[in-house]
Structure 1
Amino acid sequence: MPKHIREGLQRIEREFSLANKRLSLAITDLKEALWQPIWWHLAWQEIRQRYRRSLIGPFWITISTGIMIAAMGPLYGRLFEQPLGPYFQHLAIGLVVWVFISGYLNEVGFAFVSAEGFIKDVKIPYSTYVFKVLVKHLIMFLHNFVIVLTVLLFFPPRTLATVPMVLPGLIVMLLNLLWIGTALAILCVRFRDIAQIVGSVVQLLFFLTPIMWQVEMLGERRELAEWNVIYHLIQIVRSPLVGETPNLLSWIVTCGMAVVGGAVALCLFARFRSRISYWI
């Protein structure tokens, strides 16, 4: 075999071996983070610290969100000529889920940057810091879910048979947020301006996502909303709560994102995991 071909094959073998080692370390990082739930304590401690000496703690966010929904519901329901009950359901669930998603996306870019002290002084799996941000906003989401329950108490869903489908919808949404957060945390620790871009995009997405308005209002152009992946993430949680089955397209999009996006984020994490501490 010619020398240059042999050297080329050896180089490919070394690169493959290195990539395999990086992937193994990344998977180990994820496993260790899951089996050592420090992220739960960090998330809870951060919430407690933020609302220290506050009488009702994170329920302040619940109150402000509830007031917003109570004010917007009759106004926009009348403006869009929608029945009050179904519109309140649509708005309340959509806005509560949106507050969760947008808050997480705006913060997760700083997951590694804000944990600089921990990363440099304590040996903790890097995944822990992404999990911490996700769990923190999940806890706040559960507080805000009181609003959804209150709205559904006054305006019951068409049927309760679809309600159990909320659980798989929530799991798929969390899986997607996890890989998106991992990718953003890595990109933002390397390129700090990306976090500001994400904030601007999130603000824009609020108006492009069917939260205050409904897809049916677009008529024949409803496919414009279906290109919005955030819409599908909200829909797999919202539809079961209003007595509807999420459409097949939403499941295909969200599950496909979870698989493909998860694989891409894992490769990105494996490739740049060792550089995170140097980029901070």
Structure 2
Amino acid sequence: MTAAETPLDNPSRTFGRAWEDIRNGFRQRDLWGHLGWQDIKQRYRRSVIGPLWITLSMAVTATGLGLLYSQLLGAPIGTFLPYLTVGFIVWQFILGCVTEGTETFIANEGLIKHLPAPLSVYALRTVWRLTLMMAHNLLVYVIVLAIFFGDLTTPGYIISTPGQPQPGLDWSVLMAIPAFFVLAINGVWVALLFGVISTRYRDIPQVIGALINLAFFGTPIVWTPDLLSRFGGGDWRVLIAELNPIYHFLQIMRAPLIGNTQSWHHWAVVGGITIIGWLLALVAMRNYRARVPYWV
């Protein structure tokens, strides 16, 4: 190798190539769409009710924890159970993007070595599979909404005591659609970035798996930020929730689905994280995209 042939001069290590990989991945939606469907079918092959196990599992978890924590926190079941149910549904999607995203390229080792496809196809496959699972889980939301519709449409309802009055469910529920689109877009860069890093450092999935459990308890899913005011001490306690980036992603979708006050600062935080995350993913794809087939 001559002095001019340094790694930085490698024509495959450019942002143009990285962006082309991502763009071509989105274009091959037939491929990652088919692979995602096959993942769901394979997981529940020979099962009596098939993918409905996803819905049943979510329903049992949300109902059990909702009944338990509503009693422990002294919260009205009619508003707390929908709050917890939607929180769990969105959390499961975020959790899947992070944990399964780290395994995106490792799990697709055979296809990467034998199928000439953009690497981004496998990240999109992961997010599409999680989208299908979320669609099944939303059936639980529809049932809970039908049961507690009167509670959620009452202006000024509270989720827990003490709590801030909420405006109630209205046509702003449609804001959940762009919110999920933003979640999915973030899921792709998470799978790309963590997927590339994890192929090189195989301890990363275990580290993230351990930290994500801590993140669950630190995120307002089975508790509400309003409960922090019970302990006094000033507004600094609100930072426990506000400094948690997962909370903002959770809230942009949960708030419209249950008629909560929608604060645009959540969208601002999510927008900033989206931009930074995609920039980091592009850097990772630029520098290490060509090495992933060797690392897996």
Structure-1-length-normalised TM-score: 0.91
For residues 111 and 197 of structure 2, the distance between their equivalents in structure 1, rounded to whole angstroms, comes to: 19
Instruction: Check conservation: 1:225, 1:231, Cα contact below 8 A.
Output: yes
**Number of matched residues?**
270
> Structure 2 matches for 1:131-210, cutoff 5 A?
131-156=124-149, 157=152, 158-210=168-220
For residues 215 and 61 of structure 2, the distance between their equivalents in structure 1, rounded to whole angstroms, comes to: 18
Q: Shift of residue 20 of structure 1? A: 9.1
Per the alignment, residue 27 of structure 1 pairs with 19
Q: Could you list the runs of 5+ residues in structure 1 that have no partner in the other structure?
A: 1-9
Q: Which of the numbers 239, 252, 256 marks the counterpart of 1:240? A: 256
Structure with bigger helix share is: 1
Q: Which of the numbers 90, 97, 103 marks the counterpart of 1:97? A: 90
- Per-residue CA deviations over 1:97-125 (Å, capped at 9, x if unaligned) read 11121123211111111111111111011
Instruction: Check conservation: 2:67, 2:77, Cα contact below 8 A.
Output: yes
Q: Shift of residue 243 of structure 1? A: 1.4
> Structure 2 matches for 1:211-250, cutoff 5 A?
211-219=221-229, 220=235, 221-250=237-266
> Structure 2 matches for 1:16-165, cutoff 5 A?
22-37=14-29, 38-156=31-149, 157=152, 158-165=168-175
Relative to structure 1, is the Cα distance of residues 77 and 264 closer, same or farther in structure 2, using a 3 angstrom cutoff?
same
Instruction: Check conservation: 2:176, 2:253, Cα contact below 8 A.
Output: yes
Instruction: Check conservation: 1:19, 1:271, Cα contact below 8 A.
Output: no
21-30 or 230-239, which moves further after superposition?
A: 21-30
Q: Shift of residue 21 of structure 1? A: 5.8
Instruction: Check conservation: 1:92, 1:148, Cα contact below 8 A.
Output: yes
For residues 254 and 55 of structure 2, the distance between their equivalents in structure 1, rounded to whole angstroms, comes to: 18
Relative to structure 1, is the Cα distance of residues 77 and 270 closer, same or farther in structure 2, using a 3 angstrom cutoff?
same
Q: Shift of residue 64 of structure 1? A: 1.5
Are 2:290 and 1:274 aligned?
yes
For residues 172 and 130 of structure 2, the distance between their equivalents in structure 1, rounded to whole angstroms, comes to: 25
For residues 46 and 178 of structure 1, the distance between their equivalents in structure 2, rounded to whole angstroms, comes to: 17
The secondary structure found in structure 2 opposite 1:168 is helix
Identity %: 35
For residues 294 and 272 of structure 2, the distance between their equivalents in structure 1, rounded to whole angstroms, comes to: 33
Q: Shift of residue 59 of structure 1? A: 1.3
For residues 132 and 88 of structure 1, the distance between their equivalents in structure 2, rounded to whole angstroms, comes to: 32
The secondary structure found in structure 2 opposite 1:222 is helix
For residues 169 and 133 of structure 2, the distance between their equivalents in structure 1, rounded to whole angstroms, comes to: 27
For residues 63 and 98 of structure 1, the distance between their equivalents in structure 2, rounded to whole angstroms, comes to: 17
The secondary structure found in structure 1 opposite 2:116 is coil
For residues 66 and 17 of structure 2, the distance between their equivalents in structure 1, rounded to whole angstroms, comes to: 49
For residues 50 and 99 of structure 2, the distance between their equivalents in structure 1, rounded to whole angstroms, comes to: 21
The secondary structure found in structure 2 opposite 1:119 is helix
- Per-residue CA deviations over 1:186-239 (Å, capped at 9, x if unaligned) read 000000000101111111111111000001111231121111111111100000
Q: Shift of residue 30 of structure 1? A: 1.1
Q: Shift of residue 178 of structure 1? A: 1.4
Instruction: Check conservation: 1:162, 1:245, Cα contact below 8 A.
Output: no
Instruction: Check conservation: 1:61, 1:144, Cα contact below 8 A.
Output: yes
For residues 256 and 244 of structure 2, the distance between their equivalents in structure 1, rounded to whole angstroms, comes to: 19
- Per-residue CA deviations over 1:224-259 (Å, capped at 9, x if unaligned) read 111111111110000001113421221111011111
Q: Which of the numbers 234, 240, 255 marks the counterpart of 2:271? A: 255
Structure 1 stretches of at least 4 aligned residues deviating more than 3 Å after TM superposition: 17-21
Q: Shift of residue 273 of structure 1? A: 0.5
Q: Shift of residue 263 of structure 1? A: 1.2
Amino acid at match of 2:222: M
Q: Shift of residue 61 of structure 1? A: 2.0
